[in-house]
């Protein structure tokens, strides 16, 4: 019975979270209750809790996590700088003469917003407010329109720079070092956020291409789902200039942020600071920078960052108690007993994360589940970059899955009354299928994720 305490802890946390209690306090509270209860029963040594101050200091002193508030600030500032509206209107005008032109514009702008903000909620809400009314007015199919917006919005999970990848990179780095030390590898190799950024770039762009291909095929077989906005439209030089003008500055900012990380010129935190300053400059250039707006962005950034770090502290306490009860040993024994070895273990982890995505946010899954399962999976020989990208795409899929997908809630909150909830559900199902196919493809050909990091970093 004592051996099953870690599993009971995990189930209790999930149950508490389903009742709506705050995540950080649910994690820390559950762990401390099990620790003190175990101490009273003589099955837990409270000496283990003395490691907690060092763990908390390590969180506060972690330079990688400095990137989190800066990327959040960058995304919030760009959201309020009307960048999305300019890009969408100029690209919609450019593609106005072809069937589904507005749909293609939404996907491409969603990709650029993902690379600019990395915040799913902000992208889905912004695109929902800007594009959904126009698509409906032009006679677009409601399911197709909502599916495109939700799927494009979740690209912020996988296309760098992504907050998900920053947090995953930090967790997987610790897990990878732990796995190597357990295997007697000294000094242990390290992976960085830059590795994950590069590993996710090709799969992210492939997802964009897959979305565009699906929409093109849907329109080919059923043209009425996405009618031409202006059949007589011809692209002129002025429209091309407007497109270049609206895309130039965001692209320069994206290249500056990613380029500095890829080249090794800057750490993720330093690159994020470049992004934050660049976002303010873009807001100034667009005439959208005011002290009131700056205050709103700073307040939003502070709230989001506080939430992330509180969850991280709670998860650290939970992880400490979980390991004190030999939870890591239990997980290792469970994985090793599964049929199919490492393949069976990976399938189980992917399935559990997918199901947990119905009730937990991606931050909670990253800090609760990944530290528990990642060291064991990495000890079984999996590549850390490949594992990180697989987890990121899996979490992205959970954002779309009815009935609890967060992207669905975001869009439902800003969609017109004529758009029914079932329209959203029907719209996202094909995109969920595309993402599941991407997971299968990456499982069959891991080099899709590892090739670019190996070329750039030689790792």
Residue range 240-299, pLDDT digits in tens = 777 777 778 888 888 888 888 777 788 888 888 888 898 898 888 888 888 888 998 899
Does 393 have pLDDT greater than 80?
A: yes
Looking at residues 195-208, what average pLDDT do you find? 91
Looking at residue 389, its pLDDT comes to 93
Greater pLDDT, 429 or 86: 429
Looking at residue 119, its pLDDT comes to 66
**Confidence tier at 459 by pLDDT (50, 70, 90):** low
Looking at residue 217, its pLDDT comes to 93
Greater pLDDT, 3 or 124: 124
Looking at residues 361-371, what average pLDDT do you find? 80
Per cent of the chain over pLDDT 90 is 14
Looking at residue 308, its pLDDT comes to 80
Looking at residue 187, its pLDDT comes to 67
Claim: this prediction has a pTM higher than 0.85: no
Q: Taking all residues of the chain, what is their mean pLDDT, rounded to a whole number?
A: 83
Does 316 have pLDDT greater than 90?
A: no
133-159, pLDDT tens digit by residue? 888 888 889 999 999 999 988 888 888
Q: Is the peptide bond before 450 cis (omega within 30 degrees of 0)?
A: no
**Confidence tier at 57 by pLDDT (50, 70, 90):** confident
Looking at residues 93-100, what average pLDDT do you find? 76
Does 353 have pLDDT greater than 60?
A: yes
Does 445 have pLDDT greater than 90?
A: yes
Most confident of the ranges 96-105, 161-170, 314-323, 382-391: 382-391
Looking at residue 185, its pLDDT comes to 67
Per cent of the chain over pLDDT 70 is 93
**Confidence tier at 322 by pLDDT (50, 70, 90):** confident
Looking at residues 105-119, what average pLDDT do you find? 78
Looking at residue 283, its pLDDT comes to 87
Looking at residues 3-26, what average pLDDT do you find? 80
Looking at residues 209-232, what average pLDDT do you find? 86
Most confident of the ranges 18-27, 40-49, 199-208, 266-275: 199-208
Looking at residue 162, its pLDDT comes to 79
Most confident of the ranges 54-58, 120-124, 439-443: 439-443
Does 439 have pLDDT greater than 90?
A: yes
Looking at residue 210, its pLDDT comes to 95
Looking at residue 458, its pLDDT comes to 65
Tokens found for residue 455: 């070329």
Looking at residue 301, its pLDDT comes to 87
């Amino acid at each position: 019975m004592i051996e099953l305490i870690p599993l009971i802890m995990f189930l209790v946390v999930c149950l508490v979270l389903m009742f709506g209690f705050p995540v950080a306090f649910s994690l820390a509270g559950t762990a401390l209750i099990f620790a003190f209860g175990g101490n009273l029963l003589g099955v837990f040594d409270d000496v283990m809790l003395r490691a907690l101050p060092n763990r908390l200091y390590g969180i506060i002193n972690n330079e990688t996590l400095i990137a989190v508030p800066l990327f959040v600030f960058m995304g919030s500032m760009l959201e309020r700088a009307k960048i999305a509206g300019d890009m969408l209107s100029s690209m919609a005008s450019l593609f106005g003469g072809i069937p589904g032109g507005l749909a293609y514009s939404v996907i491409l702008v969603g990709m650029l917003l993902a690379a600019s903000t990395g915040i799913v909620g902000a992208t889905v809400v912004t695109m929902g407010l800007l594009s959904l009314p126009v698509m409906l007015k032009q006679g677009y199919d409601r399911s197709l329109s909502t599916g495109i917006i939700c799927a494009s919005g979740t690209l912020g999970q996988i296309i760098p720079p992504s907050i998900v990848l920053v947090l995953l990179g930090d967790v997987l780095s610790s897990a990878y070092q732990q796995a190597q030390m357990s295997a007697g590898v000294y000094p242990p190799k390290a992976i960085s956020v830059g590795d994950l950024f590069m590993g996710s770039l090709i799969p992210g762009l492939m997802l964009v291409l897959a979305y565009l291909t699906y929409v093109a095929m849907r329109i080919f077989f059923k043209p009425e789902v996405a009618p031409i906005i202006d059949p007589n439209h011809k692209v002129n030089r002025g429209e091309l200039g407007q497109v270049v003008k609206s895309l130039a500055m965001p692209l320069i900012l994206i290249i500056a942020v990613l380029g500095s990380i890829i080249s090794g010129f800057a750490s993720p935190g330093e690159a994020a600071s470049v992004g934050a300053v660049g976002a303010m400059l873009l807001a100034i250039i667009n005439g959208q920078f005011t002290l009131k707006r700056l205050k709103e962005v700073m307040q939003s950034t502070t709230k989001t960052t506080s939430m992330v770090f509180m969850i991280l502290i709670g998860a650290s306490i939970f992880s400490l108690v979980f390991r004190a009860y030999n939870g890591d040993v239990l997980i290792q024994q469970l994985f090793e007993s599964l049929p199919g070895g490492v393949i069976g273990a990976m399938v189980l982890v992917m399935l559990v994360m997918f199901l947990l995505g119905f009730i937990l946010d991606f931050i909670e899954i990253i800090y609760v589940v990944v530290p528990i399962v990642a060291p064991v999976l990495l000890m079984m020989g999996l590549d850390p970059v490949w594992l990180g990208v697989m987890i990121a795409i899996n979490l992205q899929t959970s954002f779309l899955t009815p009935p609890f997908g967060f992207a669905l809630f975001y869009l439902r909150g800003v969609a017109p009354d004529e758009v029914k909830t079932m329209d959203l559900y029907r719209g996202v199902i094909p995109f969920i299928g595309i993402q599941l196919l991407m997971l299968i493809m990456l499982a069959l050909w891991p080099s899709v994720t590892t090739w670019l990091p190996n070329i750039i970093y030689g790792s």
